[in-house]
A and B are shown apart, each in its own frame.
Chain A
Amino acid sequence: GAGVSQSPRYKVAKRGQDVALRCDPISGHVSLFWYQQALGQGPEFLTYFQNEAQLDKSGLPSDRFFAERPEGSVSTLKIQRTQQEDSAVYLCASSSYRGPLLVAGANVLTFGAGSRLTVL
């Protein structure tokens, strides 16, 4: 597609529910990133895929968070047993660059509009 598409745009969950957030990256982009943006804060890194391989998941806040990209295109971020502190905008970004994130600033990330999760 022309841009990074995320769905749903808005999700309200009751505490304890499981949620799944979807990201459709730009066609052909090999690198995919998930970021979490709390209200009034900048985005914080969650995880990084190169094709179907999850190369870095150091930012996932707990084992309730799980991300996958089984065929190297669409990615899903799953949050189990949601808590109120999980309320945030979850941003997905993709890049055509194959290597590590930024080599001499060569990489460009295209962000989606995000999925806003509210946990009641």
Chain B
Amino acid sequence: TQLLEQSPQFLSIQEGENLTVYCNSSSVFSSLQWYRQEPGEGPVLLVTVVTGGEVKKLKRLTFQFGDARKDSSLHITAAQPGDTGLYLCAGAKLYGNKLVFGAGTILRVKS
């Protein structure tokens, strides 16, 4: 059972479209991270959000942490083929030793 539920599981869009990926949980996390993983590689950290309601922007990517720190979203504006990959959210409890990952969203951007 995944503590973090990601949706959608798979997304195939055309270059230039916008998209949003969701990460939801019934648990409260002290912080939440988003990673991008390409085939044959390990996850690479994109962002960490720690405050309820926090919004962070990374070029065309906008990340939001829910007010109650139970959910998060990743919005990509004007998607490009280079955005293709597996997007993972991961939550951490304060003073915990482990990250809890969602199952991921596979994004394919077609040119």
Chain B interface residue count: which class? Answer: 20 to 34
Q: Determine if A113 is an interface residue (Cβ-Cβ < 8 Å).
A: yes
Q: Tell me the nearest residue of chain B to A9, going by C-beta.
A: B40
Q: A4-B42, A42-B101 are in contact. Are A102 and B30 (CB under 8 A)?
A: yes
Please give the number of chain A residues whose Cβ is less than 8 angstroms from any Cβ of chain B in the complex. 28
Contact residue among B40, B42, B96 (Cβ-Cβ distance under 8 Å from A101): B96
CA distance A117 to B40 in the complex (A): 13
Q: List which B1-48 residues lie within 8 A (CB) of chain A.
A: 2, 4, 6, 30-31, 33, 40-45, 48
A43 pairs with B94, CB closer than 8 A = no
Contact: B94 with A103, CB < 8 Å?
Answer: yes
Most buried by A among B6, B33, B93, B99: B99
- Min CB distance A33 to B, Å, is 8
B97 interface contact, C-beta 8 A: yes
Q: Are A102 and B103 in contact (CB under 8 A)?
A: no
* Residue B49, interface by CB 8 Å: yes
Query: Are A42 and B96 also in contact (CB < 8 A) when A111-B44, A112-B42, A113-B40 are?
Result: no
Give the top 4 A-B pairs by smallest Cβ distance, nearest first: A111-B42, A42-B101, A105-B31, A45-B98
A-B contact pairs, 21 of them (CB 8 A): A4-B42, A33-B98, A41-B104, A42-B2, A42-B6, A43-B101, A44-B101, A45-B98, A93-B42, A101-B95, A101-B98, A101-B99, A102-B31, A103-B94, A103-B95, A104-B50, A105-B33, A105-B49, A105-B50, A113-B40, A113-B41
* 12 new A-B contacts at CB < 8 Å, known A93-B42, A105-B30, A111-B42: A4-B42, A42-B101, A43-B99, A45-B99, A55-B97, A56-B97, A56-B98, A101-B92, A101-B97, A105-B92, A113-B41, A114-B41
